[in-house]
Chain A
């Protein structure tokens, strides 16, 4: 279990920056996720931690040890690859034992450790199977066992669930989280799936185009996104363009382009935002925060889309200058039809102000 510190790291590929001026600290034992769309630099960062790339500039430290230019085989990391990268010419046991053989453990010790980890990933009976005789989910667990059996200082997971189908993905997600918290190993997880990131991580780093957008706990990132990119990328949200009309203590009154007045709380806004009368701001409101009927911030609009998912009824409601996605928990009420009017309201606490 080690902490990780990244100091001013940049990685250049020719003229193009993969990541630029990255600064980051990951605590020992933490489950930390790099989240972002493809090409944002998350995998590049992970590969620099593993030692497959060396930074063009900057430093990487495990605890206080400088590992910036250390070869990957000297770092004591466990890595799970997107395609698992299992050795196709070896059995399950031979795959798992590989790292232990490199470390020159005795035969008996190797057998003992392999058996134990194989049980932990629920593959007890599969030791002599060939890799191509396993299902995707089983291969995934072999890859995890192979990475964990060497008792790595840091566990690196590169989109490990992206090759699994939806149901298996959920199972494996829970499994990984369980094993990680049992072993308490520092874990760095790369994904473009915000659901995965939210459900597993202690903290998340959202990246875009090689830069850090925001670092925080899942709740912080969901409820207090720093800007429109993060708000849009994490979960679904409605963004409404407004201008500030009045500020009355904690309350901020804004007006939409077509003249609706809405009120929110000053503390519910991005840290970078300065509230000045006349400023253009964006209101972010999550679809599930919108409620049916009248109350604070009541609006009436026309339904343009209806969708029933079982758990919820989703509407898209048109207010001429903007439209809102509304998600109502299914309460066995009559579902409204396209073209009908609907009245909704939004609690003042649920509005969140973002800058340009």
Chain B
């Protein structure tokens, strides 16, 4: 009785190294599909007889195409940040702090850009404001001009599209910060004799700084990675376009070199972002903050506000309206008229009946589901390990999961090309490039953090004593996980899953570089239809995507409301 020997299993479970057995699959996946492809690109960028050959070429003053591209990318990103910040923060203030006619509808529509997949967004912008867009033509007809008086193109086209699609990052963080701003602080400042301007510069703006800085870093990073807008507006001298061109010209070493340099910028920004988020302290919100919106009272201001919110509403809603309109137009019939002249519902019928039109949708559904299943398994396991287990290398795990998200899709594609154009053990001795499987893999990697982050967010909120209570009542680990952990984190898991699914369904940037012609995904099909002047079909595809995104947004909204009721 005294010397009860423990079973072998008990000894193994209690061993210090056992936790590393549990987490090793996570690291293996990250090594195989994040580190190894990245390393292959790194090796490729150093290929050649001379050390740093391609890097020397990149920074060669004599042929400045690459340097120009780097500069243009940075320039576009910088201006994009400023424009997005101006629009986003202003919108947040107007909608959170003022009451004016049209505020309600505007506060719903302000998030519309989030429902636009990148490619579809750019598409509708060029239909509206592009060289042969609706608005430039209206003015041309009105004034009887030979040419369109203005058009969205080049670098400024890219910046306008960036502003439209990315100001929401600023809007969301700024309006959250404004909501959290205790009105008592402003009142305190006013009672101490501060005027309106001083309250703004000394109290409000400093408190918004953390959210503005965080959004700036994020928008800069996304702008650097932007590929669709430069592609559609023909700005070839950006980093992403250069990579694409090098790749299509078969200069893989140069593509690898450009990827490495772009990765360097992206990862640097990721690190700065994480450092900044860890450093900043979150202020405690005082309870029960009453939203006090100032009523716009003067008649003049009221009229201006009404007109402005009408114009704003129009700008926000037009991209979707124009997509719907053109999706009903007959392909090839719309030439120089302001609006398409002939309409049909054939495109929608074809979506589900014509095998060739349906095929890309079905491909994308399959690829998206496969990638998302991978994301769920990996994301939930990694989140549980991260939140509940204690092991060395946690930071490493966290960073490795975040890196693929920070990397531009173009770079992810180049990395995969470098790694899986030949057989490797990580692809079970298969060449993946040119097969169906490369795209699900790319989607899986690009959306690695989505399920992980939403799951770990809900896990953190799940008090550990709830799991302990279950264990204490006699449930083993697996039973507890099934009956307690999964149901209670379900909304988190589902939110991440839906997001990953939608993003995979519309992914374009990596797809365009590595799709195989036998299994074309939806986004590439849209792009091809566009170049075949089949605008109607392209837009019908786009409307389908938007509908899907809206469904997901509505479900997520419902979920977050439902879970608020049950959370302790």
Contacts and interface: CB of A to CB of B under 8 A. Distances in A.
B14 A69 contact: yes
B530 interface: no
Given A85-B463, A88-B566, A89-B566, A73 B474 contact: yes
Contacts of B6: 69
A83 B475 contact: no
B466, B472, B483: which has the most chain A beta carbons within 10 Å? B472
A54 B566 contact: no
Contacts of A274: none
Given A64-B1, A72-B468, A81-B465, A88 B568 contact: yes
A98 interface: yes
Contacts of A86: 466, 469, 568
Interface in B432-483: 463, 465-466, 468-476, 479, 483
A66 interface: yes
A285 to B, nearest CB: 42
B429 interface: no
A150 B483 CA distance: 18
B488 interface: yes
A282 B132 CA distance: 98
A342 interface: no
A311 interface: no
Given A83-B465, A85-B463, A78 B472 contact: yes
A71 B474 CA distance: 9
Contacts of B149: none
A52 interface: yes
A229 interface: no
Interface in B78-102: none
B470 A98 contact: yes
A50 B566 contact: no
Nearest to B10: A69
B473 A85 contact: no
A83 B468 CA distance: 12
Interface residues of A, number: 35
B280 to A, nearest CB: 28
A35 B472 CA distance: 22
B51 interface: no
A73 B471 contact: yes
Interface in B526-568: 565-568
Contacts of B479: 102
Contact of A146 (B471, B473, B566): B473
Given A87-B470, A89-B566, 18 more contacts: A50-B472, A66-B4, A71-B476, A72-B468, A73-B472, A73-B474, A73-B476, A79-B472, A82-B465, A85-B463, A87-B466, A88-B466, A89-B487, A89-B488, A98-B470, A98-B473, A102-B473, A132-B566
30 contacts: A50-B468, A50-B472, A51-B471, A66-B1, A71-B471, A71-B476, A72-B471, A73-B472, A73-B473, A73-B475, A75-B472, A77-B472, A79-B472, A82-B465, A83-B463, A83-B568, A86-B466, A86-B469, A87-B470, A87-B484, A88-B466, A88-B568, A89-B488, A99-B475, A102-B475, A132-B565, A132-B566, A132-B568, A146-B473, A150-B474
A-B interface, 3 closest residue pairs, ranked by CB to CB distance from nearest: A99-B473, A85-B469, A85-B465
Interface of A: 50-52, 54, 64, 66, 69, 71-79, 81-83, 85-89, 98-99, 102-103, 130-132, 146-147, 150, 156
